[in-house]
Structure 1
Amino acid sequence: IISLRTAADWFGTPPPDKPYCPLARDITFSGQHVAAVVAETFERAVAAAALVKVSYEETPAIVDLSDAKAGDGIAIDAMTKEWGDAQGAFASAPVRICAAYNTPREYQAPMEPHGLIARWEGDHLTVWEPSQWLDGMARTYAEWFGVPFENVRLVSPYIGGGFGSKALALSHGAVAACAAKMLGRPVRLVMTRPQTFTGYGGRAATRQTVTIGADVQGKIQSIVHRGVNETSIDGMWVEPLGSVTSIMYTTPNFSSKQNVVRVNSVVPGAMRAPGENPSAFGIESAIDELAYEVGIDPLEIRLRNYAEQDPHAKKAWSTRQLREAFAAGAERFGWSRRTPEPRSMRDGNQLIGWGVAAGTYPVRRAYGEALVRILADGSVEVESSSIDMGQGTYTILAQTAAETLG
């Protein structure tokens, strides 16, 4: 064994707004990192870690959103969006739908577990680590150790699967960098498969209530969306549960509010369309229930309430071809053969069902830059902090440079 480190040995002070404080003395969730053992080989490190005994002083815990101690949580004012009189319009609507939906915690579980190699050379840190956001992770390392941003070099040839979980610098990275600093030599750390479920956050569990008021033709008069997501005791994660609801269908009256409840769990994080995924699940499920209630085809009811422009801002969409997508999908899928009665469709001896749902994701734009060098031998070198998650970015950059430079 080379070294065993605990919170008392922590090098540097993590910023107060960063939830990932490694080897903290106060334990807030099961699976939290409490100690690190450094050894010459993997086998010795595993054996030594198994010998570590930790004593705890137990305190009351809030397990999940259903815990009676959780309460109503914290209101997130930034998530509130309202226009018209949603409650009044719902009360007077001929058709009323009120439904509750829950989504569980979900985990990214990438094929390649999280891992890194950290090496210090003076006050310069080099980290070899799969990253979905090179600049963001490098800035966090710089903040953790109090060094300039330009002193941190992050090397990430490939991701090995991330799904949002490799977009931030996490506590295991700080542990490895801390150990490397203390020992004056490179340190490699790889998360075990069980630790991929407790060492960082997946998608937060949510509770949603969606009420829809409509006329007998299925035209929506009111939508009220209430959402709650879990976050950790010492971190904050807001899963924007009304993000899709507020723009997917046109309505003269709308209200969306959200709370966040602190539970004893690792702080949640981004996972494949954060916010948009559970938000779409809530509103689309409620739209299906409305279609069933008024006896209208679920595709037709979506077209009757199609939002030609932003329902609140009254601005034109930058792009929205959902109507065309519905038409093309219905034709290719053979939607006209669908029968609306439950348990009325079969494939041989199997009961089957055909459904439709829509979703949206915001357009995010930012400037980009790259450094291109023409070397003495005539070859070209392209430098960029963009990463390749399977879309072929590296190939595209090479093709772009070749085409541009002839």
Structure 2
Amino acid sequence: KAPGVLAIYSVANPLPLGRSEVFSKGGAATENFLPFQDDRVLWNGQHVAFIVAETFEQATEAAALVRIDYVEANPALDAAAPGAPRLPQEKLDVAWGDAEQAIASAAIRVEGEYTTPREYNVPIEPHACIAAWHGEELTVWEPSQWVSGARAIIADWMKVPTDKVRVVSPYVGGAFGCKVSPHPHVAVTCAAARALGRPIKTALTRPQTFTGYGGRPHTHQRIAIGADRNGKIQSIIHEGWNETAAEDTHVEPTNAVTPMMYATPNFRSSHSLAPLNTVNPGWLRAPGENVSTYALETAIDELAYAVGVDPLEIRMRNYADYDHQAKLPWSTRRLREAYRAGAEAFGWERRSLTPRSMREGRELIGWGMASGTYPVRRSPGDASVTMLANGSVEVRSAGIDMGTGTYTILA
């Protein structure tokens, strides 16, 4: 036994953990698969052992002594391989009119395939947590973008009532989505602290920020647009998929913005998942909207070039005056005014339509534009304010400061 080691947890000595439902099914968690619950290794970098020691150095030394025997299997690593499985996400399908027929009969047609790689959050402060039990009550110091969600997930993992869990998150340390929900290292930290009857601190290393949780998944999209000779869109088809884990599902809806951005009488979009032996992807700034906008706006630029009109003008001609999917008016939509104000401020009328024709001295200059949108998501919130006898004010809230100045505002 290595010096200072208190316990080693693995499939041979597992920690009992409960299940917390994933976000896509109404829960708050980003993954269902938890460490040490069976002997399968599903991706490179998966947690296979958890060593608790008196000091960081002793734990690091003990971890270096671990040797693991594997039985090789045939992993799924290439989502684009022939015959690779797809999991349709019918609830994300959107359609109206006859998109295929309208594309076939359109005077102008453009079609393209667009891919994005796996992207990682990599916050400046890696994930770390401290778990301490006081009888049946658990306190967890965890950088969190959503402390009420983290509390619910940890309570599920520990199989205790939610009111027995307190999550403390004074500073987040950077996140871009990866600290919305706690990850499996938090589950084993809390369970080990209960088993050993003492507080435990866990910090992921920088390499583990790439394997202990996922970033934005690799995506593949196909967009076809049909238009008349004036560039008025007659049909849009948007199909896409994203990689996900073999045992979990993360949906990065590639068609998130397409139904609402441009007016068209015919439309069809669909999305599916490609399960692979990879760490489950997760949230990264504007999940869905980011990749969807990239592909759609690139395709709109291609349409402008095919028609022979300015990219800004093609967007003006296909401006959506109402939500074609919901068939309802917008509550607020000032995109047309934003187009005009931006063009005037930038001097857009000086832009040449011919690629590689604008220069500044010896350098080629490219001017481009794109539209973007992000939904307004509302949820109830509450806070308590107490005026104390000494004249000070105490504010209680489950909100956090992402670095945008919340604490300063409240002060």
TM-score (norm 1): 0.95
SS in 2 for 1:388: coil
Q: Identify the match of residue 55 of structure 2 among 38, 41, 45.
A: 41
Letter of the aligned partner of 1:336 in structure 2?
A: E
- Counterpart AA for 1:158: Y
Contact 1:212–1:222, Cα closer than 8 Å, also in 2: yes
Alignment partners' CA distance in 2, 1:234 and 1:191: 22
How does 1:258-337 map onto structure 2 within 5 Å? 258-337=271-350
Moved over 6 A (4+): none
**Counterpart-to-counterpart distance in 1, 2:105 and 2:199:** 68
- 2:323 counterpart SS class: coil
Q: Which amino acid counterpart does residue 47 of structure 2 have in structure 1?
A: H
How far residue 16 of structure 1 moved from its aligned partner, in angstroms, is 6.8
Which stretch shows the higher mean deviation, 273-282 or 177-186? 177-186
Q: Residue 12 of structure 1 aligns with which residue?
A: 17
Q: Aligned equivalents of 1:320 and 1:396: distance in 2?
A: 29
State the shift of 1:69 in Å. 5.1
User: What secondary structure is seen at the aligned counterpart in 2 of 1:243?
Assistant: coil
Corresponding position of 1:204: 217
Residue matched to 1:403: none
Does residue 234 of the first structure (1) align with residue 247 of the second (2)? yes
Given that 2:358 and 2:364 are in contact with CA atoms closer than 8 Å, whether structure 1 keeps it comes out as yes
Cα distance in 2 between the residues matched to 1:267 and 1:325: 38
Change (3 A) 1:20 1:387: farther
Q: Which residue of 369, 372, 395 corresponds with 2:408? A: 395
Matched ranges for 1:123-272 at <5 A: 123-272=136-285
Q: 1:9 is matched by which residue type in structure 2?
A: P
Of 3, 7, 22, the match for 1:3: 7
| Count of matched residue positions in the alignment of Structure 1 and Structure 2 | 397
Shift of 1:12: 2.8
Equivalent pair of 1:225/1:256 in contact (CA under 8 Å): yes
Deviation at 1:218, TM superposition (A): 0.5
SS at match of 2:190: helix
How far, CA to CA, are the matches of 1:102 and 1:353 in structure 2? Answer: 22
Matched AA of 1:4: I
- Partner Cα separation in structure 1 for residue 247 and residue 124 of structure 2: 29
Q: 2:66 aligns with which of 49, 52, 63?
A: 52
Distance in structure 2 (CA, Å) of the matches to 1:348 and 1:51: 61
CA distance in 1, matches of 2:17, 2:100: 51
Moved more, 251-260 or 2-11: 2-11
In the other structure, the counterpart of 2:25 is none
Distance in 2 (CA, whole Å) between partners of 1:259 and 1:11 is 33
Structure 2 alignment gaps of length 5 or more: 23-30
Cα offsets for 1:298-319 (capped at 9, x unmatched): 0110011011110122211121
Does the residue aligned with 1:289 lie in a helix, a strand or coil? helix
Aligned CA distance change for structure 1 residues 109 and 142 (closer, same or farther; 3 Å): same
8 Å CA contact 2:17, 2:187 repeated in 1: no
Which deviates more, 314-323 or 6-15?
A: 6-15
The reply to whether residue 63 of structure 1 matches residue 77 of structure 2 is yes
SS at match of 1:31: coil
Alpha-carbon offset, residue 183 of structure 1: 1.2
Read off the aligned partner of 2:160 and give its amino acid letter.
Answer: V
The alpha-carbon deviation at position 321 of structure 1 amounts to 1.1
Contact 1:132 1:167 (8 Å CA) reproduced: yes
Percent of residue pairs bearing the same amino acid type:
53
Q: Tell me if the contact between 2:20 and 2:157 (Cα under 8 Å) persists in the aligned partners.
A: yes
Q: Could you report, residue by residue, the CA deviation over 1:20-57 in whole angstroms, capped at 9, with x for unpaired residues?
A: 40234211111100001111221111111011111111
Q: Is the 8 A contact 2:116 2:219 kept in 1?
A: yes
Cα deviation, residue 352, structure 1: 2.1
Note closer, same or farther for the CA distance 1:123–1:67 as it changes in structure 2 (3 Å cut): farther
Distance between the aligned counterparts of 1:169 and 1:350, measured in 2?
A: 48
Shift of 1:348: 2.4
CA distance in 2, matches of 1:319, 1:259: 31
Distance 1:90 1:12 in 2: 52
Measured after TM superposition, the shift of residue 9 of structure 1 is: 2.5
Instruction: Provide Cα deviations, 1:2-31, integer angstroms capped at 9, x if missing partner.
Output: 221113321233347542402342111111
Distance 1:224 1:249 in 2: 12
1:100 Cα offset (Å):
0.4
Q: Please give the secondary structure, in 1, of the residue aligned with 2:300.
A: helix
- C-alpha distance after superposition, 1:136-171 (max 9, x if no partner): 111010001110001110000011100000001111
TM-score (norm 2): 0.94
- Map 1:322-361 onto structure 2 (within 5 A): 322-361=335-374
Taking the aligned partners of 1:182 and 1:257, their CA distance within structure 2 comes to: 47
8 Å contact 2:244–2:281 — kept in the other structure?
yes
